[in-house]
Amino acid sequence: MKKIVVLATGGTIAGSSTSSLSSKYESGKIDINDILDSFDEIKDIAKVCGIDICNIGSQNMNENIWLELARKSNELLSSNEVDAIVITHGTDTLEESAYFLNLTIKSHKPVVMSAAMRSHNSLSSDGAMNLYNAISVAAADESAGMGVLVVINDEIHLAREVSKMNTIALNAFSSPNCGKCGIVHYGKVKFYTKSLRQHTLQSKFNPTILPRVDILYDYAGAKIETLYKSNAIKGIVCAALGNGNLSPQMLKFLKSARDNEVVVVISSRVNGGVINGSELDFAKLGFIASDSLNPQKSRVLLMLSLSSKEDIEKIRDNFDIY
């Protein structure tokens, strides 16, 4: 029987409410081993133990916890005593954490993330089934080499592609450009596709510190009046209009930022599609197109690229490789 470690970070899946019919709850209140002990069904899948990394709502997730998650995951996965890892997480920043770990965990062993839209003691909570399915996917031989996977609502998604698309629905997550890569129904796992982008063992990133990268949101009539003067800001991702279009003030601002050697990546505020900047000459402007990465994932890749001290052309290539 396989040995799986569950790394817990809190979130709704470990949340507790004073009423089973209340949408108000406190994230990360329940210890992961108490959750694992609350149902016996997982004992037929694998030998499972839990480790609490932190107990937070994922709105409080930050780069230091990302680095610790990557470090702990790599330590565990290097051991012959661990066959796979499951990471529980809040839904709000799950996609960013998943993509970061997809590029910083160095193992072919399965890594599966999961979450819940309803708290642990909510009526008809989805957490237990999501966790059961996540452990089932982690135990499946087919999950090896797939990169970091996200399991929620009976679906399996690739870390690079998945996004939270609804604020409260149980089917809040989808992969708008590529679709889910598999399904898991009561622990029965089926895969249909895999990523062609580099990840995990193929990834070159091994950060110890992450530089500051900000996200700016463009909009009709945008007024950007203050230039970044701080040397601490190394990169900007713009959630641009449509296919990378920019309002006049945003374009002026980003040109000035580039003149100050800030690396600029253009993503989109639209939930799907590829950025090619057909109406702007990104190469001439010194901007980088995000390909199909949304702003928050573009920020992750830009931080990792900057942490590797790469020049702008290599960073541009990274957005085609990862």
The HSE-up count of residue 194 (CA atoms within 13 Å, CB side) is: 12
Provide, rounded to the nearest whole percent, the portion of the chain with pLDDT above 90. Answer: 82
Which candidate, 235, 296, 242, 237, places its Cα nearest to that of 260?
Answer: 235
In whole angstroms, what is the distance from residue 135 CA to residue 138 CA?
A: 5
208 is in an annotated binding site: no
pLDDT at residue 5, rounded to an integer: 98
In whole angstroms, what is the distance from residue 97 CA to residue 2 CA?
A: 25
92 is in an annotated binding site: yes
Task: For the chain, give every residue range classified as CATH 3.40.50.1170.
Answer: 3-201
Task: For the chain, give every residue range classified as CATH 3.40.50.40.
Answer: 212-321
In whole angstroms, what is the distance from residue 98 CA to residue 87 CA?
A: 9
> Choosing from 9, 88, 91, 104, which is the catalytic residue?
91
> Which one is predicted more confidently, 123 or 77?
77
pLDDT at residue 40, rounded to an integer: 87
> Choosing from 12, 88, 104, 200, which is the catalytic residue?
12
In whole angstroms, what is the distance from residue 64 CA to residue 315 CA?
A: 23
In CATH terms, the fold of domain 212-321 is: Rossmann fold (3.40.50)
Residue 9 designated active-site = no
Residue 93 designated active-site = no
What Rg do the C-alpha atoms of the chain give, in angstroms?
Answer: 20
Q: Say which DSSP state 143 is in.
A: G
91 is in an annotated binding site: yes
Q: Say which DSSP state 40 is in.
A: S
pLDDT at residue 234, rounded to an integer: 93
pLDDT at residue 23, rounded to an integer: 63
pLDDT higher than 90, residue 125: no
**Are residues 212 and 189 in contact, defined by beta-carbon separation less than 8 angstroms?**
no
pLDDT in tens, 14-41: 876 665 655 666 666 688 988 898 888 9
Which amino acid would we find at residue 24?
Answer: K
pLDDT in tens, 261-275: 999 999 999 999 999
Q: Please give the C-alpha separations between residue 249 and each of 56, 91, 242, in angstroms, as whole numbers.
A: 37, 33, 16
Q: Chain-wide mean pLDDT for the chain? A: 93
- Give Cα 62 distance to the centre of its chain: 12
> Looking at domain 3-201, which CATH architecture does it have?
3-Layer(aba) Sandwich (3.40)
Provide, rounded to the nearest whole percent, the portion of the chain with pLDDT above 70. Answer: 94
Q: Which residue has the tokens 């770990």?
A: 101
pLDDT at residue 18, rounded to an integer: 67
